[in-house]
Amino acid sequence: MEDTETEFPASRAGADAVGAAIGDGSCVKETRSEMLARHQKEIKELQNKEIGLKKAAAKGSKAEQKAKKKLAEEEVARLDTKLKARHVKELASLGIPVDDKEINSIEVKVKAIAGVSLNGTNNQVRPSKGQKWRDRRAQQEAEREQRIQEEQNNVVSERVLEDQQLEGKLAPLGYTLKEIKSDGHCLYRAVEDQIGLHPELVQYSYQELRILAANYMRTHADDFMPFIGAETTEGDNPDETLQTKFERYCGEVESTAAWGGQLELGALSHAMKKHIVVYSATLPDVEMGKEYKEDAPEGAPLLNPSVRVSYHRHAFGLGEHYNSVIPVDPSLVQDTA
């Protein structure tokens, strides 16, 4: 099969430059073989970048590792989507269509096409044993990547199913989900969003909510320290005192992107004197700060409305996540008894 020449932006250096031309934007002539080789190289560079990000995310406390892993997965997914879109466009310019079902396994297609164009009937050189071994390894790697993608698709399905179950639970109550940014601060951002529904109340940013939760935990250490002490993470210093470990935990709550959970919600409930309800798809609803739930005459507006958030186990395939739960009808933001 003859190589064809196609114009593409000048070389792209490394996975960080995926999808973007480098330099002054000039174009160079690129043969079919050169383009396919570049595609394989860019795919490999992105895989290496993913490995590097995952290694970097494996350092620090358990909470920091979770937060960094989540951000790393999101960054790789973004780069992967961008790279695949560009490869599809460039293959199309050569008259090679890629349908929707093939996009997620485009690496397999690129390698298959490269094998035809680089080792086809026009090149009768017999492949060496080393080349055969490399080809087998490439095929095995392609099949492995396809299995990984299929598993990721299953995770996405679990997320969709979970959201549907939650929406089904909330709809009869007049509520729906509001997506909150997934950056390690989701719990605090969800509470921030809830408070923002009521501008007449004291407002807090998510950073201020972190500080509020950490300070409450410090001043009520006896209520929280036993739970912190029970947690162990890889790399913990066995000689570290419980007090030191607790203070380190509070420091992470206060000034890092460490994920928050039930402990932090409990601290916020008491610090703000707010009734908090946590909805989930399959677990019973959790209420915190019931003593702050306002008891007003039926139909009367509440002066201290409840905070409502949702807990997700399968969001983004990366673990726990919190969203804000808001009224379906914006005019009904004001809670009533």
Catalytic residue among 183, 236, 285, 329: 183
| Active-site choice (39, 270, 314, 321) | 321
Token digits of residue 311: 């807990």
Q: What is the CA radius of gyration of the chain?
A: 26
C-beta separation of 141 from 255 below 8 A: no
CA distances from 245 to 217, 249, 259 (A): 13, 6, 17
Query: In the annotation, is 183 catalytic?
Result: yes
Q: Where are the alpha helices (DSSP H) in 23-104?
A: 32-57, 62-93, 100-103
What distance in Å separates the CA atoms of residue 306 and residue 335, rounded to the nearest whole number?
8
Torsion of the alpha carbons at 273, 279, 284 and 285, rounded to the nearest 10 = 20
C-beta of residue 215 within 8 angstroms of C-beta of residue 271? yes
Task: Determine contact, residues 212/272, Cβ cutoff 8 Å.
Answer: yes
What is d(CA 47, CA 259) in angstroms, rounded to the nearest whole number?
27
Q: Which residues contact 93 (CB under 8 A, 6 or more apart)?
A: 6
Is 321 in the active site? yes
Choosing from 39, 186, 193, 270, the catalytic residue is 186
3-class secondary structure, 11:
coil
Judged by DSSP in three states, 317 sits in helix
Report the catalytic residues. Answer: 183, 186, 321
